[in-house]
Structure 1
Amino acid sequence: MTHPTHTFSGPGRCTLVGAGPGDPDLLTIKALKAIQAATVLLVDDLVSEAIQALIPTSARIIHVGKRGGCQSTPQAFIEKLILMAVREGENVVRLKGGDPFVFGRGGEEVEHLAQAGIHVDVVNGITAGLAAVSSLGVPLTHREHAHGVVFITGHPKPGSSGTDWRTLAATAYSARLTLVIYMGVNGVQHIQQELLTGLPPGTPVAIIQNASLPTQRHAITTLDSLQDTILDAQLASPSVIVVGDVFQGLLTLQQSTPASQAALG
């Protein structure tokens, strides 16, 4: 179905900016420039306080909650706010945690504004899955352990069937892929059960909460102990779950360390 396009030639503009995982030092220079030039910012819940502190005091901040498992601002309402502000001549920044185009619904916002004749610039940010494993000194790909990586959501759109985890597990095993699962903590029991149909029980897994922030915590475990580890360590959202042999070195080190010396990072 095609949508009518209405051209708008006003002075306003819109930029989708990825705020990264939370550490302000991980912002790109382009992202920082966009934030400091904005007159109106629509800010997600996952944008850290340290990054929000970089917003000019003259700018108007609109908090539009978007956090898995919590009440969220309706997407249609956010898009309406952006459109109204641009038409009023504002320099609008839609500030999102991570990257706008990695589970950030940035594509929906670009499409909506394009239908109204408004061009949108996009500034990428470091996605949480990459920052999480990098903080542990582990790569997502490795010539010996992982030939590719899959970024996938553990929180499907309401009413949809969601991910076919069994097929994904079989593919990850045969193709030697690292799986980076966003928003998977609440559905971890189902995810674990389905992945175990195609991956060995001893497959290494890392759960990283609040990646890059001073409050970051993580645990290294195996796939068959995933849910128990999350419960025992009291890990919660926002967390990423990373499954794959790239963590074999950390798992081996942990297993060789006396329990009295092991600590949750």
Structure 2
Amino acid sequence: MANPAHPAYPVGLRLAGRRVVVIGGGQVAQRRLPALVAAGADVLLVSPSATPSVDVMAETGEIRWERRRYQDGDLDGAWYALIATRDRAANDAASAEAEARRVWCVRADDADAATAWTPATGRVEGVTVAVLSGNDPRRSAAVRDAVVEGLRDGSLTAARPRVPGVALVGGGPGDPDLITVRGRRLLAEADVVIADRLGPRDLLDELPPHVEVIDAAKIPYGRFMAQEAINNALIEHAKAGKAVVRLKGGDPYVFGRGMEELQALAAEGIACTVVPGISSSISVPSAAGIPVTHRGVAHEFTVVSGHVGPDDPRSLVDWAALAKLTGTIVILMGVDKIGLIAEALVRHGRSADTPVAVVQEGTTATQRRVDATLATVGETVKAQEVRPPAVIVIGDVVRVNAPLTDA
């Protein structure tokens, strides 16, 4: 029995190229094997059967699998053993062999009979967090999760090399919980944040007081010069040796002009990291109960910018071809042009009865959904006083499920 007065001695095992024996191919092995493979261990699995995931690992050569029960001698040459079968007698025998051969041994069925315990582990940016709390795995996991989450979102600060440069961070559709963990961590480490009005604004309130927040919507020189002014602000602060985050709504590369900003930085020799974000083109319909694809209804979806109308010479969209598609059409930035867009789609062959849903301020507390058809959406949007930002979904998927919110 383990003596509570003698806590486990924590150590990190370097298993690359070293023999590790896993006895039992069930759920415990399925959970533990990926970490052993990632550590570079030479893994031998001994078990008459295995879960499908473990089977695939053997088929792809990540582990070696001998399809049989444990036999005395299986731990010969092993550095580490994991015993995880339902056969108590086999577990006892393997554990006894491990003791005799001085092989550190974890037992899934009896922690007190083991010579090693597996900590609850997590990894963040090259840091491994491992937690042991005696014989209480749930508490270990809870502490692990709290530490890992804190390191990821920046709420738990830890000394780390400060890296000047720029990160283009996709903030997602608006709900602050939908930003990626990497994006949230970079925000917590920033000296300067240049934010779009469509980004998750609630996250700005969490920033430390020393962080300079610049509202990209209020950068001077007017609409035409705004992008150039944003580029200049990114370059200026990065050259001053600051860690800069360009916080954008949705994904930086989905109608976000992120590539223009990256190209401007590259021309000045400034390092830039791009952090993808959840695009509103998919997430907002989902939040409103609309799948952009659905079996037997839509096998494709097309995302279109509606910032210029179909008859505008600047439009790059083939509206005639778009109207002939049978799948879902998602329009971004198209509230004020939706009447013209609907007319063009009908004119080129899309049925006037095609259902349309307009989701305003999706994923936020003020989200609302307005339903119409191509024939009525122009007038409906005006009558309902729909305002940007809004995502417009066109297609039969609109009627797959009842609205989650009232219009």
Note whether the superposition's TM-score is higher than 0.5: yes
Partner of residue 196 from structure 1, selected from 334, 341, 346:
346
Once the two structures are superposed, the pairs formed by residues 216-231 of structure 1 within 5 Å of their partners are 216-231=367-382
User: Displacement, 1:154?
Assistant: 0.4
Query: Which residue of structure 2 lines up, in the alignment, with residue 163 of structure 1?
Result: 317
Bigger mean CA offset, 51-60 vs 197-206: 51-60
SS at match of 1:160: coil
CA contact (8 A) 2:285 2:391 kept: no
Stretches of 4+ moved more than 3 A in 1? 70-73, 156-159, 262-265
User: Displacement, 1:134?
Assistant: 0.9
Query: Which residue of structure 1 lines up, in the alignment, with residue 332 of structure 2?
Result: 182
CA contact (8 A) 1:43 1:61 kept: yes
Distance 1:263 1:150, change over 3 A: closer
User: Displacement, 1:73?
Assistant: 6.2
Q: Distance in 2 between matches of 1:160 and 1:222?
A: 26
Query: Which residue of structure 2 lines up, in the alignment, with residue 31 of structure 1?
Result: 183
When Rg is computed on C-alpha atoms for both structures, the one with the higher figure is 2
User: Displacement, 1:264?
Assistant: 3.2
Q: Distance in 1 between matches of 2:335 and 2:306?
A: 8
Query: Which residue of structure 1 lines up, in the alignment, with residue 227 of structure 2?
Result: 75
1:17-56 CA-to-partner distances (Å, cap 9, x unmatched) read: 1111111111111111011110011111112431222222
Q: Distance in 2 between matches of 1:213 and 1:48?
A: 9
1:166-223 CA-to-partner distances (Å, cap 9, x unmatched) read: 22112x2xxx221110111111221011011221111111100001010111112211
Partner of residue 239 from structure 1, selected from 390, 396, 401:
390
Query: Which residue of structure 1 lines up, in the alignment, with residue 52 of structure 2?
Result: none
SS at match of 1:191: helix
Bigger mean CA offset, 90-99 vs 114-123: 114-123
Query: Which residue of structure 2 lines up, in the alignment, with residue 5 of structure 1?
Result: none
Structure 2 counterpart of 1:194, which letter?
Answer: A
CA contact (8 A) 1:35 1:54 kept: no
Once the two structures are superposed, the pairs formed by residues 250-261 of structure 1 within 5 Å of their partners are 250=401
Structure 1 counterpart of 2:215, which letter?
Answer: H
CA contact (8 A) 1:19 1:51 kept: no
Aligned pair count reads 239
Determine if the alignment matches structure 1 residue 94 to structure 2 residue 236: no
Query: Which residue of structure 1 lines up, in the alignment, with residue 206 of structure 2?
Result: 54
Distance 1:72 1:129, change over 3 A: farther
Q: Distance in 2 between matches of 1:72 and 1:134?
A: 34
User: Displacement, 1:61?
Assistant: 0.7
Structure 1 counterpart of 2:382, which letter?
Answer: L
Partner of residue 259 from structure 2, selected from 98, 107, 128:
107
Query: Which residue of structure 2 lines up, in the alignment, with residue 6 of structure 1?
Result: none
User: Displacement, 1:72?
Assistant: 7.3
Structure 1: 5+ residue stretches without partners: 1-10, 255-261
Bigger mean CA offset, 101-110 vs 131-140: 131-140
Structure 2: 5+ residue stretches without partners: 1-162
CA contact (8 A) 1:20 1:98 kept: yes
User: Displacement, 1:74?
Assistant: 1.0
Q: Distance in 2 between matches of 1:153 and 1:208?
A: 15
Q: Distance in 1 between matches of 2:195 and 2:225?
A: 11
Bigger mean CA offset, 128-137 vs 32-41: 128-137
Query: Which residue of structure 1 lines up, in the alignment, with residue 74 of structure 2?
Result: none
Query: Which residue of structure 2 lines up, in the alignment, with residue 248 of structure 1?
Result: 399
SS at match of 2:269: coil
User: Displacement, 1:113?
Assistant: 1.1
Give the structure, 1 or 2, with the largest relative contact order (CA under 8 Å, sep 6 or more): 1
Structure 1 counterpart of 2:406, which letter?
Answer: L
Determine if the alignment matches structure 1 residue 118 to structure 2 residue 267: no
CA contact (8 A) 1:156 1:163 kept: no
Q: Distance in 1 between matches of 2:276 and 2:315?
A: 29
Query: Which residue of structure 1 lines up, in the alignment, with residue 76 of structure 2?
Result: none
Q: TM-score, normalised on structure 2?
A: 0.55
SS at match of 1:74: helix
1:93-150 CA-to-partner distances (Å, cap 9, x unmatched) read: 0001111111110011111111222221111111112121111222111221111111
